[in-house]
Amino acid sequence: MSGRDAGWIPPMLATLTADRFSDPGWIYERKLDGERCLVHSERGKVALYSRNRHELNGSYPELVDAIAAQHGDFVLDGEIVAFDGNVTSFARLQRRMQLKEPRAARRSGVAVYLYLFDLLRLDGRDLTGLDLRRRKALLRESIKYADPLRYTAHRNRDGVAYAEHACRQGWEGIIAKRADAPYTAGRSKDWLKFKCVAEQEFVIGGYTDPQGSRTGFGALLIGYYDNGDLRYAGKVGTGYDRRTLDEVGRRLARLEQREPAFTKGHLPRAGVHWVKPRLIGQVAFSEWTRDGQLRHPRFQGLRFDKDPHDVVREVAR
């Protein structure tokens, strides 16, 4: 049974948003850091597929067994995960993803779980046009849940509080889903990702020229102290309103100097102004890159309660 032969339904995908909200018209689920899985079960034959239609049966034979023990024909949507403590770990899951032979997968020592969160077809009936609350109710009723199959619980309110809880717990974030929405293929704003991001203080060591209609400056050049050296950590070009651009721009202009204070890192050279490293900015970001720069940084504001030389790279422990 192939995904195409079984009536392939491309998965619905969430859209990343910086907004967090609470709305009774939405539900909120934990965002799991794993591998998306579309489950097809028809006449006793089970096939697991990735979001791009690669068959996954060989990698997760215990999930195939668990689905085969269910009754009825169905198409399910879910996420395969592995855990490191109480947190889902994509790095740990990769040890299973790379195995394609069932016996090797069973011997890997990496336990996996399939969190189910949607039901697309049941006993020949297409459910994608139903609202999400109804689909989830049918999903809960139609599957017998025991490890490694788990139902993805949700909250009906308090999306902001749940997102804050997710970040405190070290989760990847949460998914907000419009409760009355049908299941539609592809990227949709009816599903939104509230991703947790890291944040910390950084020393401001320079800025770039503004472009277009922007005033003040273009991006801040930031870094942190590493054994006495100011190490460059990248540019921050978002998160500013006009007031911030003007205020921070005036402060930077008074601190300009000819040479960079940064002594480590690959520095930009075009359209750059260097400043004395006296200002500290609070910056949110998604992660560190392998070369020690920030991914998706966003400026949050200036900090005045810390000495610049006390600003170091914060490492989760």
Provide the residue ranges of all domains of the chain, joining segments of one domain with +: 12-195, 198-310
- Measured between alpha carbons, how far is 61 from 64 in angstroms, rounded to an integer? 5
Contact 152, 29 (CB under 8 A): yes
Q: What is the assigned CATH class of domain 198-310? A: mainly beta
Q: What is the pLDDT of residue 276?
A: 97
Is 144 annotated as catalytic?
no
Condensed to tens digits (0 to 9), the pLDDT of residues 268-299 reads 988 999 999 999 998 888 888 988 999 889 89
Q: What is the pLDDT of residue 305?
A: 65
Same fold, 12-195 and 198-310: no
- Measured between alpha carbons, how far is 216 from 209 in angstroms, rounded to an integer? 8
Q: What one-character-per-residue DSSP string does 30-72 give?
A: EPP-SEEEEEEEETTEEEEE-TTS-B-TTT-HHHHHHHHTS-S
Maximum CA pair distance of the chain?
74
- Measured between alpha carbons, how far is 170 from 196 in angstroms, rounded to an integer? 8
Q: What is the pLDDT of residue 168?
A: 87
pTM of the model: 0.65
- Measured between alpha carbons, how far is 204 from 248 in angstroms, rounded to an integer? 11
Q: In this structure, what token pair is assigned to residue 85?
A: 């403590």
Q: What is the pLDDT of residue 29?
A: 97
Residues of the chain with pLDDT under 50: 1-5, 316-317
CATH architecture designation of domain 12-195: 2-Layer Sandwich (3.30)
Element (H, E) at 86: none
3-class DSSP state for residue 277?
strand
Q: In this structure, what token pair is assigned to residue 227?
A: 């054994």
3-class DSSP state for residue 162?
helix
Backbone φ and ψ for 176, nearest 5 degrees, come out as: -95, 130
